[in-house]
A = this chain, B = another copy of it.
Amino acid sequence: MLKDIKFNKDGLVPAIAQDADNGEVLMLAYMNAEALRRTLESGEAWFWSRSRQELWHKGETSGSIITVREVWKDCDSDTILIRGKAAGPVCHTGNRTCFFQKMTKKDVED
């Protein structure tokens, strides 16, 4: 079924990480086939770091490992959803989630 996954021309799919208990969306990152394989086999979230161009075991440095409870793919198999628990703040800014900046109509008007 990994063969079913539609990786983009860079060999990546976007992967959403969500807190399995409270539903909070924590981050979006990208996986290549190997990151997805490791995530499914290890039960911890792996991504592909586009900036560093290397496999990225989320939390290996920061300690904020994401323990995976469920992995889902979407209807057209080009997006992954991980539901799990992070051991600490997921965002490099120290925030619990990467989505801490709210946008409003004002963002359009300015």
Contacts and interface: CB of A to CB of B under 8 A. Distances in A.
Interface of A: 1-2, 14, 16, 18, 22-25, 27-28, 37, 40-41, 70-77, 79-81, 91-93, 95, 98-108, 110
Nearest to A99: B72
Given A14-B14, A18-B25, A77-B101, 17 more contacts: A1-B103, A18-B23, A22-B23, A23-B24, A27-B74, A28-B74, A28-B79, A40-B107, A71-B102, A71-B103, A72-B101, A73-B99, A73-B103, A74-B98, A75-B98, A76-B98, A81-B99
Copies of this chain in the oligomer: 2
Given A25-B18, A81-B99, A91 B75 contact: yes
A40 B92 contact: no
Nearest to A91: B75
